[in-house]
Amino acid sequence: MSKINFVLQGKGGVGKSMVAAMLAQYKQAKGHSPLCIDTDPVNATFAGYKTLDVRRVELLAGDEIDTRRFDSMVELLATAQADVIVDNGASSFVPLSHYLISNEVPALLKDLGHELVVHTVVTGGQALVDTVSGFAQLATQFPVDCLFIVWLNPYFGPVTTEDGKPFEAMKAYTSNKARVSALVQLPALKGETYGRDLSDMLQARRTFEETLGTAAVPLMTRQRLKIVRDQLFRQLDGAAVL
């Protein structure tokens, strides 16, 4: 049985492609060869990772998204022998979500022996309300047998309310806790060291393996990135991603 991993969040710029890339790298590190798919019609950040061999599903017909083009993606999912990771852009979030639900794709994939896992990102700062709301909507709309993994991203600030309430205490989470198989806490990194190293790696669309194996990358940069990778992968060891 393959795990079909969708990275979904209606808010743009919150780290969906980073999550997809981290998830793919984790699976590769565990000896898996996931099928990676990018459906972002605008940025295609995930497809920029050459060593992840990401397939791009072209959704635009002129300037409009042609939802029938999702059919070809479902064909890929249905016949997949390995796990699948699908990164979706904010501009196609509503069409894709509606397509999946209205066409009962989760039930179809389940009948074919696959398991659907929805990954979503919740951030701190100004996008907190939007991303929390986005998670709640997804949990309400998708069938109860779909698992959720929530990635908490503190890049824009702590993932807490103004009065200090953490995500785990928010109503959106407590009401849907049974649907969430894991919370993955992305690290809050110091900008001048860890943060800069990770940002440079992400902007270059390089994987941890590529970067750590490059002698031209300074020793301490590689050391810090190794620490970040290991901390993240340890969390994924406890999540339902394999």
Domain map of the chain by residue range? 3-189
Exposure string for 58-76, b = 16+ CB within 10 A, e = fewer: ebeeeeebebebbeebbee
Is the model's pLDDT at 33 over the cut of 80?
yes
Distance (Å, whole) CA 112 – CA 147: 17
Query: In this predicted structure, what is the pLDDT of residue 241?
Result: 83
Whole-model pTM: value is 0.95
Stretch 12-19: mean pLDDT: 94
Asked if pLDDT for residue 166 goes beyond 90, the answer is: yes
Q: Which of 57-71, 87-101, 136-150 has the lowest mean pLDDT?
A: 57-71
Element (H, E) at 76: helix 70-78
Distance CA 241, CA 40 (A): 22
Whether residue 66 is predicted with pLDDT greater than 90 in this model: the reply is: no
Tell me the pLDDT tens digit for each residue of 43-54.
889 999 999 999
- Reply yes or no on domain 3-189 having CATH 3.40.50.300: yes
Residue 67 pLDDT: 84
pLDDT tens column, 91-114: 889 999 999 999 999 999 999 999
For 153, phi and psi rounded to 5 degrees? -115, 110
